[in-house]
Amino acid sequence: MEILNFEFPSSKVKARRAHVGVVGSGDLEILMEPSVDGETRVTIQTSVAGFVDTWKAVVERFLQQHPEAANIEIHDFGATPGTVALRLQQAVEVSKS
Amino acid sequence: MTFEITLSDEVLALSARRSYIELNARARALQLLDDGTFHELLGPFDRVESPWLPMQGIVTQSDDGCVVAKGKIDGQPAVVIAMEGKFQGGSIGEVCGMKMAEAFRLARLDNEKGIPTRAVLSLESGGVRLQEANMGELVIAEIYAEMVALRKHTPLIVVITGPTGCFGGMSLAAGLASYVVMTRQARLSMNGPEVIELEAGKDEFVAADKPFVWSVNGGAQRFATDFADVLLEDDADAVTQAVTELFRKGQPAQLRTDKYELFIKRLKFLDPAKQWVAEDIRNAWKAVAK
Amino acid sequence: MTDPLNNRGRKWFEALTGSDGKVEGNPGSLMVAEATLGGEKAVFVGVAPDANARFPRTGHTEVGLEEGWYGTKNLRAVIEADKNGPKRPIITVCDSKSQAYGRREELFGIHVAAAAIIAAYADARAAGHPVIALIVGRCVSGSFLALAGQASRMIAFDDPEVLIHAMYKDAAARITKRSVAELDKLGETIVPMAYDIGSFNKLGGLHKLLKIADPDTPAPASLEQVKATLIEAIADARKSPRNLDARLESDGAKAFRKASLKVRQMMTEQWAAC
């Protein structure tokens, strides 16, 4: 297991909290909450070590599309970058519904 | 030229059906509770997670694989506990097990105060979580204690649909239930097929022979031999309906665990020297009916 | 590992009761006897090896179909007999290697047989019987849940042959894809995974961990020591609520079951708020 932490300055504040996914094989769980201080923080627990750059790229791409400040907690159980992106998108949709 | 597609009734029924098996634990709790009454306790954002898994480098889940929701069923106060089979095989560790035990305890306290809170346990579980071994054993004993106390007040219903099934410590929880609802896809047994084969050899159990395994512990066999009260197709609304009807029926005439005279009669009648197959036991049960 | 025929459970059962526990109609593996303890009648229960066991996957102290169902019948008879009078203590001398693993067991519903004896112990406790588990040997997996789990008070011998666990080490290693050495290493830091009874005791489940001079041979002094401990545990159970809260309220739980306590506190608050 590896634990990763990313921080990004962010401006727009929004969104209700959202929870999606399951910590099951090839899947992940995401907890998304609005940030109170304008910073976006992403914490990742992943069962697969050694993919820091991949995670950074996936998260950055996501934040370019959704710059809302948020605390994002990810519990990953070997999801592919595609699944991670889908779950992040799903979390945004849940947070807006 | 156009083709007119005609679907059989069977196909139409299938397409109209929503799967319960495919629902995750939270969606199952939502499915079982009356619309708009779902209120989750110790949800993901409370972040009460297993303290033991991170110490072993294992990723946690924010609800530890157990969803507890208070609400109503058929207009009556209810609590639903749903295990998530995809997280650590639905195994029982300290936090998820304690959530289950507490849900039963709090429902029992309600009943003692005159609030007739009923309980449904939707199980997907491989048994005790080996990474929390003895903690799991202690907590499972506490779950049983609360189940036995609660079922005196209200029917306690266990739902097993698959895909994980119900094994180990949680199979005994199904044994303690007032009613057991199963699908054909569900499996229920104390020892997992691999463990039996490991302990007793291939003459006793062939874990890789899926039809054989299902013939022993599958929903249809469990229903035919009176270890389950309702057998369903995989249909979310049918599960809700079955649960509602069982609560309307009230307490069973006799709890399964009180049927010791019947089971002892059966044990005396059976020949334990021979190796049994599923069909034998169905016939034997009929022969010793009541 | 104790030889199954070492018979520690049977020796202690016989020493405590002066009886072999055989009852007409019961299977040979089930020991049940009444004996005097601290000036009152007490019921003793246990599972012993049985060379003539009917079910081939039992006979080496396993809890199987017969142990579950006949055990239930015997316990229910005690509850019924004491319904309107003093509740006799029920003491289970635990030395049982596991549940029975077999095809017949699954087909005939061992999960209900085990649930039934658990319900009988739990109902006995709720009715006011002090339910005591005296763990003198192995009490692993299903046999722990079936024989000891519902006890008002659990007492274990402080001895390397005493084992309470979810699964034997070799099987657990195979299933969790770890080596036995890795499991041992984990047990040093992850207390619930450890195999020694001292570690189990840290979790707060035991009422007492009892150092016995020779646990394989109930000498008179040791027997008196065990009896005194049982009498004290019975008195303690009688003045406490008839549930398992003593385990959760123990110092061990305060140190090692912080998560359990947090779940109880937060669930209670949230339940009341909705």
Would you say C231 and C37 are in contact if contact means Cβ atoms under 8 Å apart?
A: yes
Share of chain C above pLDDT 70, in %: 98
Would you say C148 and C94 are in contact if contact means Cβ atoms under 8 Å apart?
A: yes
Structure tokens at C51: 């060379």
pLDDT over threshold 70, residue A10: no
d(CA A20, CA A18): 7
pLDDT over threshold 60, residue C180: yes
Check whether residue C91 and residue C140 sit in a common domain: yes
For chain A, the average pLDDT equals: 90
β-pair type (B179-183, C30-37): unpaired
Residues 6+ apart with CB under 8 A from B87: A22, A23, A24, B61, B64, B65
Check whether residue C160 and residue C230 sit in a common domain: yes
- Which of A16, A32, A45 to mutate to probe the B interface, most B CBs <10 Å? A45
User: A with C: 3 or more CB pairs under 8 Å?
Assistant: no
Would you say C215 and C8 are in contact if contact means Cβ atoms under 8 Å apart?
A: yes
Total domains in chain C come to 2
Q: In the prediction, which pLDDT does A66 show?
A: 86
Structure tokens at A8: 């990004």
- Coil, helix or strand for C147? helix
Check whether residue C166 and residue C266 sit in a common domain: no
For C206, counting Cβ atoms within 10 Å of its Cβ (0-12 exposed, 13-18 middle, 19+ buried), the class is: buried
pLDDT over threshold 70, residue B191: yes
Out of B45, B54, B61, the one facing A17 most closely (by C-beta) is: B45
CA nearest to C146, candidates C157, C155, C159, C133: C133
* Residues in a beta bridge with A8: A40
Q: Give the mean model confidence (pLDDT) for residues B202-217.
A: 95
Q: In the prediction, which pLDDT does B288 show?
A: 83
Check whether residue C262 and residue C161 sit in a common domain: no
C141 contacts in chain B (CB < 8 Å): 128, 137
Tally of CB atoms within 10 A around B207: 15
For chain A, report the end-to-end CA distance as a whole number of angstroms. 33
Q: In the prediction, which pLDDT does B248 show?
A: 98
Lowest-confidence region among A12-21, A28-37, C37-46: A12-21
Instruction: Give pLDDT tens digits for C24-33.
Output: 999 999 999 9
Contact call for A47 and B86, based on CB within 8 A: no
Rounded (5°) CA angle A35-A39-A40 = 75
Check whether residue C155 and residue C260 sit in a common domain: no
- Which of B129, B151, B170, B191 to mutate to probe the C interface, most C CBs <10 Å? B191
Would you say B65 and B96 are in contact if contact means Cβ atoms under 8 Å apart?
A: yes
Residues B84-102 as b/e (b if ≥16 CB within 10 A, e otherwise) read: bbbbbbbbbbbbbbbbbbb
Would you say B206 and B212 are in contact if contact means Cβ atoms under 8 Å apart?
A: yes
Contact call for C268 and B106, based on CB within 8 A: yes
State the smallest CA–CA distance between residue C69 and chain B in angstroms. Answer: 6
The pLDDT confidence band at residue C3, using thresholds 50, 70 and 90, is very low
For chain B, report the end-to-end CA distance as a whole number of angstroms. 64
Q: In the prediction, which pLDDT does B225 show?
A: 96
Tally of CB atoms within 10 A around A5: 8
Tally of CB atoms within 10 A around B203: 9
Q: Structural domain of residue C16, as residue ranges?
A: 4-243
Q: In the prediction, which pLDDT does B16 show?
A: 76
C76 contacts in chain B (CB < 8 Å): 258, 260
β-pair type (A70-77, A39-46): parallel
Write out B170-197 in H/E/C secondary structure.
HHHHHHHCCEEEEECCCEEECCCHHHHH
pLDDT over threshold 70, residue B262: yes
B253 vs A: CB within 8 A: no
State the smallest CA–CA distance between residue B80 and chain A in angstroms. Answer: 19
Check whether residue C180 and residue C228 sit in a common domain: yes
* Signed CA dihedral, B182, C67, B149, B131: sign only: negative
Q: Give the mean model confidence (pLDDT) for residues B133-161.
A: 98
Check whether residue C69 and residue C132 sit in a common domain: yes
Check whether residue C202 and residue C91 sit in a common domain: yes
For A93, counting Cβ atoms within 10 Å of its Cβ (0-12 exposed, 13-18 middle, 19+ buried), the class is: exposed
Instruction: Give pLDDT tens digits for B68-117.
Output: 999 999 999 999 999 999 999 999 999 999 999 999 999 999 999 999 99
**How far is CA A57 from each of CA A1, A39, A62, A83, C249, rounded to the nearest angstrom?**
19, 18, 9, 14, 49
Domain B9-256 has what CATH class?
alpha beta
Check whether residue C124 and residue C234 sit in a common domain: yes
C72 contacts in chain B (CB < 8 Å): 257, 260
B59 contacts in chain A (CB < 8 Å): 1, 23, 45-47, 75-77
Whether omega for the bond prior to residue C56 falls within 30 degrees of 0, making it cis, is: no
Instruction: Give pLDDT tens digits for C252-268.
Output: 999 999 999 999 999 99
DSSP result, B206-268 = -TT-HHHHHHHHBHHHHHHTTS-SEEE-S-HHHHHHHHHHHHHH-S-SS-GGG-HHHHHHHHH
C194 contacts in chain B (CB < 8 Å): 134
Instruction: Give pLDDT tens digits for C194-253.
Output: 999 999 999 999 999 999 999 999 999 999 999 999 999 999 999 999 999 999 999 999
CA–chain centroid gap for B253, Å, is 21
CA nearest to B150, candidates B78, B73, B53: B78
Check whether residue C249 and residue C238 sit in a common domain: no
Question: What domains are defined for chain A?
Answer: 2-96 (3.30.230)
Query: How is chain B split into domains, by residue range?
Result: 9-256, 259-290
C32 residue type, one letter: V
CATH number at residue C90: 3.90.226.10
Contact call for B94 and C189, based on CB within 8 A: no
Within the 39-58 window of chain B, which residues sit less than 8 Å (CB to CB) from chain A? 43-45, 47, 54, 57-58
**How far is CA A63 from each of CA A72, B105, C103, rounded to the nearest angstrom?**
11, 44, 55
Lowest-confidence region among C46-50, C61-65, C90-94, C173-177: C173-177
Q: Is the ipTM of this complex over 0.85?
A: yes
